[in-house]
A and B are shown apart, each in its own frame.
Chain A
Amino acid sequence: MAQLELDKVTKVFDDSSGTIVAVEELDLDIDDGEFVVFVGPSGCGKSTTLRMVSGLETITDGEIRLGGERINEQSPKDRDIAMVFQSYALYPHKTVRGNMAYGLQLSTDLDDQEINRRVEEAADMMGIEDLLDKKPASLSGGQQQRVATGRAIVREPAVFLFDEPLSNLDAKLRKHMRTELARIHSEVGITTIYVTHDQEEAMTMADRIVILNDGRLQQVGTPKEVYYEPNNRFVADFIGSPSMNFLDVKLDRDGTGSGTLVGDEVSYKVSDGMVGNLDDASSDLVLGVRPENIRIEAGAPPEKSIEATVDVVEVIGSDNFIYLDLAGQEFRVRTPSEIEPEEDETVTLTFDEENVHLFDARTGDALVHGRSQASVSAPPEQSDTAAD
Chain B
Amino acid sequence: MAQEQGRTADQIRERYGIGERTLTDRIKDNWVGYLFIIPTFIAFTGLFYFPIARGVFMTFTNASLGVTGEFIGLDNYAWLLTNDLFFYSFGWTIVFVFGTTFTQLGLGVVAALLLNELREVAKDWVGVLIMSPYFSAPLAGGVIWMWFLDSNFGFVPKLFGLFGLTAPSFLAGDFWPFVSLIVAQTWHDYAYSAIIYAAAIVSIPSEQYEAAALSGAGRLRRFRDVTLPHLLIPTIVILSLRTAWNIAEFSQPFALTGGGPGTQTMLMSILTYRVAFVNTNFARAYTIGMAMVVLSMSAAVIYVKAIDQEDDLYV
Contacts and interface: CB of A to CB of B under 8 A. Distances in A.
- Direct touching of A and B (C-beta under 8 Å): yes
A83 B214 CA distance: 7
Interface residues of A, number: 28
Nearest to A75: B213
Most buried by A among B210, B226, B229: B210
Interface residues of B, number: 23
Contacts of A151: 211
A76 interface: yes
Contacts of A54: 210, 214
Contacts of B315: 135, 137-138
A81 B214 contact: yes
Contacts of A138: 315
A77 interface: yes
B217 A106 contact: yes
A137 B311 CA distance: 13
B215 A89 contact: no
A103 B213 CA distance: 9
A107 interface: yes
B208 interface: yes
A102 interface: yes
A83 B210 contact: yes
A91 interface: yes
B94 to A, nearest CB: 31
Label chain B's interface by main secondary structure. Answer: helix
A83 B229 contact: no
Nearest to B207: A89
A1 B161 CA distance: 67
B221 interface: yes
A55 B216 CA distance: 12
Most buried by B among A56, A137, A138: A56
A82 interface: yes
Contact of B313 (A56, A85, A93, A103): A93
Contact of A91 (B208, B214, B216): B208
B262 to A, nearest CB: 48
Most buried by A among B119, B232, B314: B314
A301 interface: no
A103 B313 CA distance: 21
B210 A89 contact: yes
Contacts of B232: 93
Contacts of A137: 314-315
B222 to A, nearest CB: 10
A336 interface: no
A257 interface: no
B207 A85 contact: yes
Most buried by A among B215, B216, B225: B215
A58 interface: no
